Structure 1
């Protein structure tokens, strides 16, 4: 049998791992940045060199043999070790330079963070920002991102960071529909049309709140985006709860309640423990925290508004994390 130690290289492990994950050569080729024919030829060379079949070819795709499965698992462990090593090297950077990958969602980016990022790039021209949008939690341990900016009351235990602010939510309507300065009574508001985030956000506190207090037939419009929700209220489709930092900057919207404490969520700046002392990460986090600190009154809904007297919205029954 050939001597495997003489024929196997890290790129071979990466290739086998990619085929095992993709189960097809074209998709595996895309993962490793090669063309289909090169992947096919290299797989044959690796198998010939080992004297073993690493994959069975089925209609469903390439299925690893026991030897192929073991090689793919080893490649996964090697990839994790290499990633951990690069994180440690990043944590020992001498100067704040290079690329910084930041994950956040579109709501925070459009209505809060873009001007902050622009100011940071002016101050730190040697750093490049790669912004990744999405509500799902990326794996900072695998370097999917270096920093996460998230609205959550339960940040992952595997990450470190700081709470920058408390995001307030209040009830809003189209300004033209509510000319009076006082807040309307709740029994009047419950007769109106409402807008809400979609059912896929059933874990959000604001969605649970509406299901508990507003009749289902009154919720006439649902959308899977807070930005879309804001546009719907401004268009007069219905009234709805919005983050104060979005709605209070829109002249076309008016508050119909004070911020509801049970709907608020913390705004966190998070990173991996191995990166917390990296100059570029530390500089970025300090800068963003300071800029968000300046906007805290807006984010936390602190502004003079008319007293609402006895017209209280019902308290949320469940004040757990949205």
Structure 2
């Protein structure tokens, strides 16, 4: 049985070189991205356990934070093309990739969805972040992107970023809070009701949501509670079988998929082994475990 990791990251070298030409030494702003496995595809492949595959998404080096709308669209198109080429040349371990969008250019983002996702044999969805340009991802300016992705049936990979207004951001807790708030925003905006085919894969096991499910149940409406359960989530919490069981209890066994955030989390090659061990130790049925490790992804893509 091939294990499919739905949330693993790369930083394609040509894209990085273009970003570095715009902002010299750009990774000095993001020291955690100075990871050889992000840019060295041969080393990345070698780091994978046998019979494992990864769905590749970009790290959060987002063009809209550095350049104007037209340049951002050009950089996203080039980065997506490079990522698609990586997938096509390595389908045995990277069966698909996830496109990036220029969030300061929504018309171009919508065109990219048509050109590089709908029409692609390699890119199957897009990655959005909890914020873009200091606006929540559910700001009205970004709603056409949600509508478009629902219409074409392409999933969203929802990844956290820091809120720059907060002085105490930290990797341990802040990203989980930002994910939770973004999920709340999607539910509060009634996107699952407005766009019934919307598919959102949330990083880090749905963050705070499954562990505060009773607060959601008794403070919010029954409709909102049901909408929270429509998210898909991955297993990227660095182990912890019991916490993953809570995620399965809330989102349902069909909405949890193996994901690691590799190569981040546990040096030197990422947390794949630790997270897989946690999934195999969960108190769930063999069929549910098979779903998490690969079958749920295959159903989502069917």
* Greater RCO, CA 8 A, separation 6+: 1
When you count strand as a share of all residues, which structure comes out higher?
1
The structure with the larger Rg is 1
Asked if these proteins are the same fold (TM beyond 0.5), I'd say: no
TM-score (ref. length: structure 2)? 0.23
